[in-house]
């Protein structure tokens, strides 16, 4: 049986200053679960690494709970305020080798 695949914009997780952060789905499939720690800074974000980052790799000096959405938002807001997370991605040496977890 034929089927049709169409692109669906990812859900916005956070808007802070001039930065928009999106949720990332496992295998880039909207029918699959959202990756718990992977987020994107571009609508074309992918859990394969394109335009995405792992929130656990961001500095967390206030010890926000990375396992809950409010904690993730607080970590990201702090990183945006510090200039680490921008609409162009992570600034500095915070590469994320594996976002599929």
Q: List the domain boundaries for the chain.
A: 12-90
pLDDT above 70 (res 4): no
The whole model's pTM is what?
Answer: 0.79
Going by pLDDT thresholds of 50, 70 and 90, the confidence category of residue 34 is low
- pLDDT tens digit sequence for 35-90: 778 899 988 776 666 788 999 999 999 999 999 999 999 999 999 999 999 999 88
Q: Identify any residues that bridge with 16 across adjacent strands, giving them in sequence order.
A: 19
For residues 4-15, give the mean pLDDT. 80
Sign of the Cα pseudo-torsion (52, 56, 80, 64, in order): positive
Whether residue 38 contacts residue 52, with contact meaning beta carbons closer than 8 Å, is answered with yes
CA 6 to chain centre: 21
């Amino acid at each position: 049986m034929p089927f049709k695949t169409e692109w669906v914009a990812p859900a916005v997780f956070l808007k802070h200053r001039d930065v928009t952060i999106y949720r990332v789905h496992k295998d880039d499939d909207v029918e699959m679960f959202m990756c718990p720690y992977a987020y994107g800074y571009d609508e074309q974000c992918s859990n394969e690494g394109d335009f995405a980052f792992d929130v656990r790799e961001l500095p967390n000096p206030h010890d926000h709970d990375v396992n809950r959405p409010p904690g993730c938002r607080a970590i990201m807001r702090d990183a945006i305020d510090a200039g680490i997370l921008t609409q162009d991605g992570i600034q500095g040496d915070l590469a994320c080798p594996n976002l599929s977890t």
